[in-house]
Amino acid sequence: MSNKGIEINGNVGNLHVQQDCVNSTMNVTIINDSQFFIKAQEIIDSIKQYDTDFKSTFHEKEQEIRSELTIAQDCVNKKDRPRLSKALTTIKDIAKSITSNVIASSIVHLIAGGDI
């Protein structure tokens, strides 16, 4: 059995997901905007703690990481959830491409495990 995930950004009402199997379960986690932006700010702050290591970790992608962090921070301030999700995904994807670095792995874990 494999787990499937659905991510929906924005307002949703009367949502029903049909699970086509016996004895299946469905867990729904609803994160309101307030919780989302608080968690996003925590993730951004945690990533910023690695600032002095960005050059040695990300090399030619350092400026892109910094730019996406700036965008992410601006999106938290403006409550722009879709653009924030995109910026954090870009940061995560860049960090994923740095396979043998502890800092990059930590950043991937922060974003992927952040439930946002």
pLDDT tens, position by position, 70-103: 999 999 999 999 999 999 999 999 998 886 788 8
Taking a C-beta distance cutoff of 8 angstroms, is the pair 83, 89 a contact? no
pLDDT at 50: 92
Q: What is the pLDDT of residues 39-68, one digit of tens each?
A: 999 999 999 999 999 999 999 999 999 999
> Tokens 């029903």 appear where?
16
Letter string b/e over residues 16-49, b meaning 16 or more CB atoms within 10 A of that residue's CB: eeeeeeeeeeeeeeeeeeeebbeebeebbeebee
pLDDT band at 5; cut points 50, 70, 90: low
| 62 Cβ contact list (under 8 Å, min separation 6) | 54, 55
Structure confidence by residue, pLDDT tens digits, 24-39: 666 666 567 788 899 9
State how far the Cα of 77 lies from the Cα of 80, in Å rounded to an integer: 8
Residue 7 pLDDT: 64
